[in-house]
């Protein structure tokens, strides 16, 4: 069969784009070469509906070992008693949690998307907002989760589930307080740690497993694995709604979650991706990943300081994790304009709504900036000053094509110090 040069030429083009640009999208990272190699292997050919030892197809003995290894490594990372590694994405994982816990039309409480939340936490455009009754809490004028508002709404609305987690929030979470509120109103606490999971894994942020019933995450972002999702329980427990198995026993939450993933919301798992997840989990268990997590936080705080010095308005005035949210209104720029202009200089980030935004989600007043990818490439605190200098120069000269072109060349030269996948030529 003839090689499909059209597709592989485009893949090569994307490799070059990644090599020459500064990647600051908070939800992106660069996997190791062995993670990518694992994804492109023969488990992609195997259908394996079900779970290890309980498949609907024959010939699953090897993929059973692969999936079991991924589960065992993940449980070790987060000190859990149960894990499911089959969700195709973070959104798929969250959909399964909803399916396991909620009935259509029931209430849950989540962080408003416009305040830093996630689509799957109740956006009216998403299944979570269409199928269930979403109640939202927000942040204070200082950009910190408004726990008083969360508590007040929980007491009035009596939600079945409270979600903690975000896609654009730069501070740590008070999981203990949320659990106390949930216990008072009889709610399940569900933590979506897709963004800070890699930092939580190494004890660098508060541990949601100490207080939350169910935890989900993506496997990319700060976990630096392949794109996919996971669901975990530190302690399994009987479901509080009296749901029973065919033998009349109360179902454990792990059983409800397994059933919600398959057959509830997915068919056959992507065993080649699960193999790549297993590889990345092995990398996370290595002590070097602790140093990586610490460097992420150091870089994020150095970058935040560099922005503040230049007069940028950071929501909550800083960061505890890997990202920061910047309100550009004092710079007379929209998030859309900033993203599009920086793209021209090969600096990639995303426009983002800021709390109490007066612009549409398609324009926004802010940008979200994250450091996991540049940290993977070897950048340190001093390099954050250089990166922010590039950003500031472009944004202050957003309509000057000459300066933008000069910055693009300077970015390419700067990034040559940090080789990406030199084995791939």
Report the catalytic residues: 47, 49, 192, 218, 221, 227
Length reported for the chain:
425
Both tokens of residue 91?
A: 């959104």
161-164 and 22-23 beta bridge pairing: unpaired
Rg of the chain over all Cα atoms, to the nearest angstrom: 22
Q: Is the peptide bond before 157 cis (omega within 30 degrees of 0)?
A: no
- The answer to whether the CB of 155 falls within 8 A of the CB of 128 is no
DSSP 269: -
CA distance linking residue 57 with residue 349, whole number of Å: 43
CA distance linking residue 189 with residue 91, whole number of Å: 17
Both tokens of residue 191?
A: 């933590």
DSSP 378: T
| Crossing angle between the packed helical segments 381-396 and 335-344, to the nearest 10 degrees | 110
- The answer to whether the CB of 214 falls within 8 A of the CB of 188 is yes
Contacts of 82 (CB under 8 A, 6+ apart): 75, 232, 233, 236, 254, 257
**C-alpha distance from residue 376 to each of 194, 291, 296, 421 (Å):** 18, 11, 9, 11
DSSP 251: P
Residue 131's CB: how many other CB atoms inside 10 A? 16
CA distance linking residue 15 with residue 400, whole number of Å: 28
Cα 92 versus chain centre, distance = 13
CA distance linking residue 258 with residue 262, whole number of Å: 6
- The answer to whether the CB of 122 falls within 8 A of the CB of 110 is yes
- Going by C-alpha positions, the residue among 373, 372, 380, 381 that lies closest to residue 420 is 373
3-class DSSP state of 108: strand
């Amino acid at each position: 069969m003839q090689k499909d040069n059209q597709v592989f030429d485009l893949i090569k083009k994307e490799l070059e784009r990644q090599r020459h640009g500064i990647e600051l999208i908070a939800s992106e990272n660069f996997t190791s070469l062995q993670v990518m190699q694992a994804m492109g292997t023969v488990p992609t050919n195997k259908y394996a509906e079900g779970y290890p030892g309980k498949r609907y197809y024959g010939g699953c003995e090897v993929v059973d070992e692969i999936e079991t290894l991924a589960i065992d490594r993940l449980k070790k990372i987060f000190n859990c008693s149960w894990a499911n590694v089959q969700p195709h994405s973070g959104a798929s994982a969250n959909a399964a949690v909803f399916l396991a816990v909620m009935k259509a039309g029931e209430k849950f409480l989540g962080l408003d998307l416009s305040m830093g939340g996630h689509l799957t936490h109740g956006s009216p455009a998403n299944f979570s907002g269409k199928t269930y009754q979403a109640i939202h809490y927000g942040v204070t004028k200082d950009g910190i989760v408004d726990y008083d508002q969360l508590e007040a709404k929980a007491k009035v609305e009596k939600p079945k589930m409270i979600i903690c987690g975000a896609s654009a929030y730069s501070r740590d979470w008070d999981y203990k307080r949320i659990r106390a509120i949930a216990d008072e109103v009889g709610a399940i606490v569900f933590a979506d740690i897709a963004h800070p999971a890699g930092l939580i894994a190494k004890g660098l942020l508060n541990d949601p497993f100490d207080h939350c019933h169910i935890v989900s995450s993506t496997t990319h972002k700060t976990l630096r694995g392949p794109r996919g999702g996971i669901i975990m329980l530190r302690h399994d427990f009987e479901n509080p709604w009296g749901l029973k198995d065919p033998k009349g026993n109360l179902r454990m939450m792990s059983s409800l979650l397994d059933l919600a993933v398959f057959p509830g919301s997915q068919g056959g798992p992507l065993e080649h991706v699960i193999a790549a997840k297993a590889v990345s989990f092995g990398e996370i268990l290595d002590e070097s990943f602790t140093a990586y997590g610490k460097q992420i936080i150091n870089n994020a705080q150095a970058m935040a300081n560099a922005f503040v010095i230049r007069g940028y308005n950071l929501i909550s005035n800083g960061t505890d994790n890997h990202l920061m949210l910047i309100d550009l209104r004092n710079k007379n720029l929209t998030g859309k304009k900033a993203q599009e202009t920086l793209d021209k200089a090969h600096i990639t980030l995303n426009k983002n709504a800021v709390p109490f935004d007066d612009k549409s989600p398609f324009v926004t007043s802010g940008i979200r900036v994250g450091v996991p990818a540049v940290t993977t490439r070897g950048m340190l605190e001093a390099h954050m000053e250089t990166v922010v200098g590039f950003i500031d120069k472009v944004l202050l000269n957003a309509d000057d094509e000459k300066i933008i072109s000069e910055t693009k060349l300077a970015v390419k030269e700067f990034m040559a110090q940090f080789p990406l996948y030199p084995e791939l030529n």
